[in-house]
Structure 1
Amino acid sequence: MIERPSQTWQRRVAEQEAAVAAGTLPQDQAYAAELWPAEATAAVDVVLAAYAQELADLPTVTDEAAWAAVERVVLALNAIDERQAVIETGEREELCEYLDAVLTEAGVDVTALTAGRSLHRAELTDAWRDW
């Protein structure tokens, strides 16, 4: 099972909160909760979990099904980011890597999938991504 970026963000927030509580990290150096607010991170987590489950539930992931799943998850992430502006460069890279990894885990050759639309693998989300 691939760890969702949102789970990583939640863990970083919790680690910093624990360090502040333990007195090992000054409050003014605890940045994680500002980067990854709980509400936005939870929303991203729900969307990513649904994406992974959708692909896992398919007996065979066709190109059409893969593209449809990518489109749905990217549009959902766009909506979250539009409301809360939480996806910056680092998060974008983590999210794109995750979307690719989930497809790969589901048996999709992402290089072939994207090549079928004359795209590079790194352009998997570009048609819909606003973040």
Structure 2
Amino acid sequence: MVIRPSVRWRARVDEEARELAAGTRALGDAFLSELFPESLLVATDKALCAFESDVEALRDEDDEQVFEAIKSVVLVLNEINEEHDGAGYETEEREELCLYIDQILTEHGIDVPALAARRGIGRTEITDDWRDW
């Protein structure tokens, strides 16, 4: 089962908080709660849960339905990123989100390379038409 990036990000924030409380991390070295504010984590997790449901609800591998699910989650993630001053998702987070989308599709039996090829794009480009982050 694929783990949502937002779950991993929250775990990192929680670990940092434990280290601060234990005195094993200096306050000046703590930045994760700023990088991943609660509002970003909650909104991202909600968007990714909805994407999982959308993909699970697909009854066939109709390319347009698959791309509609991708478009939907990307547009919501665009909004979340914008609500966080365009800095919600940095390079590493963008890569994690794109990989997660690919992995969820694959986990549900969608041949992502073939899907992308039928559209004349590479596997890593399936979010590019809509992605602002």
Which range, TM-score by smaller chain? over 0.9
Measured in 2, the distance between the counterparts of 1:14 and 1:90 equals: 19
Displacement of 1:65 in angstroms is 1.3
Any unmatched runs of 5+ in structure 1? none
Separation in 1, partners of 2:66, 2:58? 10
Shift of 1:28: 1.2
Deviation, 1:18, is 0.5
How do 1:60-99 residues align onto structure 2 when only pairs under 5 Å count? 60-84=60-84, 85-99=87-101
Which residue is 2:10 aligned to?
A: 10
TM-score, with length taken from structure 2: 0.95
Distance in structure 2 (CA, Å) of the matches to 1:77 and 1:54? 15
Query: Given residue 111 of structure 2, which amino acid in structure 1 is its aligned partner?
Result: D
Tell me the equivalent position of 1:46: 46
Contact 1:55–1:66 under 8 Å retained in 2? yes
For 1:121, the aligned partner's letter is R
Partner deviation per Cα, 1:81-110 (whole Å, 9 max, x = no partner): 011021110000000000000000111000
SS at match of 1:43: helix
Distance in 1 of aligned mates of 2:24 and 2:53: 39
- 1:75 and 1:57 map into 2 onto residues whose CA distance is 19
The residue matched to 2:120 in structure 1 has which SS?
coil
Q: Which consecutive aligned stretches of 4+ in structure 1 deviate over 3 angstroms post-superposition?
A: none
Q: Distance in 2 between matches of 1:62 and 1:102?
A: 16
| Paired letter, 2:27 | Q
CA distance, structure 1, for counterparts of residue 95 and residue 59 of structure 2: 28
Give the SS at the match of 1:126.
coil
Contact 2:58 2:66 in 1 (8 A): no
TM-score (norm: length of structure 1): 0.96
What fraction of aligned residue pairs are identical, expressed as a percent?
46
Letter of the 1:83 counterpart: E
Supply the RMSD in Å over aligned alpha carbons. 0.9
Gaps of 5+ in 2: none
Corresponding residue for 1:112? Answer: 114
The residue that corresponds to 1:55 in the other structure is 55
